[in-house]
Structure 1
């Protein structure tokens, strides 16, 4: 029956492709049979989009505003993410983020000193950088001492937004704007370092998720403003980062990303010390990466942490995993991609701070990726994970269904 369905689906796909090919031929060969008005309308719409992309307002806000919007949404799950951190890495403490925040800026100056040709002259670059840094520092410190939000570790009331993250993403955007044409790995390295700084701030219990998202948005927008003003000062035509050619619209993007979502754990009911307990909906956070060939096939990697509360105040159950496997990406329409993957990996079951079991996991997932800019995307995902972990006294294995949103650095 399944083969028949697949065969039927395949036949329908072939028929539709054949009809589309015939229709395209008729439009191309016989102008009397098909009007060109639809084609002109499409071209006109694309032209309007391209004009919008070249406005200063769009260039400044295209990445920062989605991050600020995500920050506002993240306030509802900040405490749950902090609880996940407390369960899985309560003793973590490392100062790598204090130094890594400056790494993209150091790389930019190092390349400039080495004579590597970039976007700007020394004068243009220094002007843009000074304006960006001054604007970022003013906004961050102004908000810190106006909002006065308590840090997760309860030591100070200057949590929002994250200054480390704002500095890291400001520096990453500087490096990307100066040397993005040199290699795609410039953007990968810059934004990977910045994302690691943001993750480090939460791992060190210094910031909430909403803090680092807002910091990232402020850092990126400060740099965009800095370079725009520098171009005006030096009477230089602005160089806009747009998707307006066939290659940009159709290229299959690879990515590195950070995501947050919810998970439904199965089985819902378990027995512990003679008590029948139910697990609440869990929170999952992941860091993942995918590299795709232009054929659509690629390799996926993912590290994930999951936590969920148990009823009757019986603590928190958690799971960690690292998995990898093949994936496929298909362009639905310009800038919108359907991704799927299958992964296998290593996993652990935790109860409060203790590791109870170790095993293997299998993941089947699908997602929709929206390409906001050449270097940034948003991905909505649905993952199903089955593990070999015995789920307490239920007599069954832990499995869970996760959905959420990821912010992706594209390359």
Structure 2
């Protein structure tokens, strides 16, 4: 039964928001700045003054860094649980993708906002500012990296560089030609930032601070270049058309929602363990070959905190060594693909739908005993894993509907309702022995099928690929 269940704590909600925060703030920046640029008359006051416009997003990101400092180890434990063996160093290269795009577009004759000489001067000042700030803070703060390899973790240099480059592409082509350049740039920067966490090289606070420093550095670099060049070295401004030239709503989307378990396997309150409502976080995208029909897929996580207040242990020695326990939340990740649907309405509204099928795998979890102080030294730990559980991979399917609003040419928001269903083999082990080196051995405690059907209500941030 759900004595065979799993997942993470409520602060993990802050964990999953990392990439959503970065991409949402970045794309909100796109919307704000393009709106300001396209307005023929802008009433000047404090809130739309240039210092506020160029510093608002960096300040939010740096404030987010400070706010997440206390939970950074919890965020890392979430990574260690779901993707403990992640070792893909794409972030070493992806950080340079936006600046390579600027150079490549110029070489191909695609004009940006500035002529190449002025653009490179702006970029040079940005790089000097970014490098100076990052390295000064790194070797002053001396924060240890998550993997313990060195004491120069804060802030993330890779993330600062990637967001500096992304803002460079945004200012040269996103503001001048199409917001789609900005969407791509900040998506690559966000992927770099998340990669630094997944590769266990940085804390969440490191990458949020790095993103803020990177964006602000480019903004300041352009301020300096503007003072030097004034009106020289700029191309004639293009008109940004916010109405799509075609109505095939291909997209990439980040989504976050509240998930309510439906199955008795998860919610039966007469048992010792049962699932509370949790959250769902994921990314999805679709290519539309017709204005109403397309194909796509999604990759997402669902997490259900577990109520174990009534859990009783048969071992009479447990009250002697432990003064409490907790159960890691029940987690499942899935990859689905299938048909997508879109019905355009008036005023840039859309009704959306999808059907998907694929595979779902549960995350390993444990029921932990909180050891009394007298036994912590004996066991070499503050806690002891008593039960261990693992849902195995299986077939799963989902269906969803949504209402979507296009707020900019390439940006939209969506409210959605999604149903998910899978039935996983659920294996439970119980601790059997503690090795001399401190390792644990477990023995089989049984297994059964657990149905993971749930309903999610949430919001999505959409990047249209018109």
Higher relative contact order (CA 8 A, sep 6+): 2
Q: Hey, what does 1:323 align to over in structure 2?
A: 336
How far did 1:207 drift? 2.7
Tell me, yes or no, if structure 1 residue 231 matches structure 2 residue 252: no
- Higher mean C-alpha deviation, range 294-303 or range 155-164: 294-303
Q: Which residue of 2 aligns with 1:195?
A: 190
2:166 counterpart SS class = helix
Does the aligned pair in 1 maintain the 2:261–2:267 contact within 8 Å? no
Q: Aligned residue for 2:321?
A: none
State the Cα distance separating 1:388 from its structure 2 match: 2.5
CA distances 1:343-393 after superposition (whole Å, capped 9, x unpaired): 31213132417551311221325366685x76667x575543321224747
Output the TM-score relative to the length of structure 2: 0.61
Q: 1:384 aligns with which of 418, 439, 445?
A: 418
Question: How far has the Cα of 1:132 moved from its partner?
Answer: 1.3
- State how far apart, in whole Å, the 2-side matches of 1:239 and 1:135 are: 26
* Structure 2: stretches of 5+ with no match in the other structure: 1-38, 309-324, 366-389, 427-446
In structure 1, C-alpha distance between the alignment counterparts of 2:60 and 2:351, rounded to whole Å = 21
Q: What secondary structure does 2:117 align onto?
A: helix
Alignment match, 1:399:
453
After superposition, the Cα gap between the structure-2 partners of 1:151 and 1:330, relative to the gap in structure 1 and judged at 3 Å, is farther
**How do 1:115-126 residues align onto structure 2 when only pairs under 5 Å count?**
115-126=109-120
Q: Check conservation: 1:259, 1:285, Cα contact below 8 A.
A: yes
Q: How does 1:156-235 map to 2 (within 5 A)?
A: 156-180=150-174, 181=176, 186-235=181-230
Alpha-carbon shift at residue 327 of structure 1 (Å): 4.3
Change in Cα spacing, 1:49 to 1:106, as seen in structure 2 (3 Å) is: same
Q: TM-score, normalised by structure 1?
A: 0.67
Distance (Å, rounded) in 2 between the aligned partners of 1:245 and 1:59: 22
Deviations 1:157-215 (A, max 9, x none): 54443321221121122123323456665445433322321221122122344443443
Could you tell me how far 1:124 is from its partner in structure 2?
0.6
Q: CA RMSD in A?
A: 4.6
1:93 aligns with one of 59, 69, 87 = 87
The answer to whether the 8 A contact 1:319-1:350 is kept is: yes
- The structure carrying a bigger helix percent of its residues is 1
Structure 2 contact 243–409 (Cα < 8 Å) conserved:
no
Change (3 A) 1:169 1:98: same
Structure 1 unaligned blocks of 5 or more: 1-45
Go from structure 1 to structure 2 and tell me whether the alpha carbon gap of 1:217 and 1:112 turns closer, same or farther (over 3 Å shift): same
Instruction: Give 3-state SS (helix, strand or coil) of 1:84's partner.
Output: helix
**Alignment length, in residue pairs?**
361
* Stretch deviating more after TM superposition (279-288 or 124-133): 279-288
